Amino acid sequence: MSIECGKHNPDSVSFQNLWPGLFLNRSAVVYPNKDAVVYGELSYSYAEFDERVRHLAGALVNAGINAGDRVAYLVPNIPQLLEGHYGPMRMGAVLVAINTRLSSREVGFILRHSGAKALVFDSEYAETVEAALGEASGKSSEDASNLDLLVEVVDTDSTTLPTPASGLNGAIEYEKFLSSGRSIDIPELNRSELDTIAIDYTSGTTGEPKGVEYTGRGAYLNVLSMVVDAGLNSISR
């Protein structure tokens, strides 16, 4: 009997599907009351964070976003971006996290190139989004934006004065959007570890940015390597 090392064989009795969503699923059960997110005066336990992720997944489904669709985020390093790493993945969509330092032209290119169906943006970047969408409207049909959904985050817990909601193009306020997914039951999808969960874009220094696909397996192993390298354990914060 020969064994092919490294071969992806989900039918093997020893196969373990390396899916990053399992981290949150386990933590919500094992550490339901432990802090998962602390941001300014805001904090969520793992159970509360998992619930918000489920609401986000349900809201995306309720809004017509399907498995495989791209969901873009133009949001700084705040809790809503962390939710964006889990919510779309839970219902089968693909996260496209956009660098907040990019110009409107670059943001517009990524939205079009990725084929994003939804965009979650912080109110701080409303002008950038408006300019990006304005540029897209002048493109040919094959290069135009495919956005069907705009969701706006107002970061009221920021240490700086929050930027008021812009209401750009009828954008839905983030917390209101989350509440629309409360009653939507999202079954746990039977996802393969080789499925794409995110697309990150290169800096584009020698041309237009290139989309780099990340699989569930790749993200899972990257997390494990970071845990080992940083020496994290159950009491780390």
The span from the CA of 145 to the CA of 68, in Å, is: 17
Residue predicted with more confidence, 36 or 134: 36
What number is the average pLDDT over the span 47-67? 96
Task: Measure CA 11 to chain center.
Answer: 29
Both tokens of residue 15?
């196969």
The domain ranges of the chain are: 21-229
Range 9-15 average pLDDT: 70
pLDDT band per the 50, 70, 90 thresholds, residue 196: very high
Here the tokens at position 96 are: 């496209």
Query: Looking at residue 211, what is its pLDDT?
Result: 96
Average pLDDT over residues 49-55: 96
CA distance 200 to 70: 12
* 140 pLDDT more than 60: no
CATH topology of domain 21-229: Rossmann fold (3.40.50)
Torsion of the alpha carbons at 174, 72, 19 and 62, rounded to the nearest 10: 50
Confidence of residue 164 (pLDDT cuts 50, 70, 90): low
> For the packed helices 216-230 and 21-30, what is the interaxial angle rounded to 10 degrees?
60
Overall pTM surpassing 0.85 (yes/no): yes
- Is 80 exceeded by the pLDDT of residue 10? no
Per the listing, tokens 């304005």 go with 134
Q: What was the pLDDT predicted at 16?
A: 83
State pLDDT tens for residues 20-51.
999 999 999 999 999 999 998 899 999 999 99
Distance of CA 231 to the CA centre of its chain: 26
Write the pLDDT tens digit of every residue in 80-133.
999 999 999 999 999 999 999 999 999 999 999 999 999 999 999 999 999 999
The answer to whether the beta carbons of residues 84 and 118 sit under 8 Å apart is no
Task: Compute the distance between CA of residue 121 and CA of residue 50 in angstroms, rounded to an integer.
Answer: 21
What amino acid is encoded at 226 in this protein?
M
Average pLDDT over residues 160-183: 82
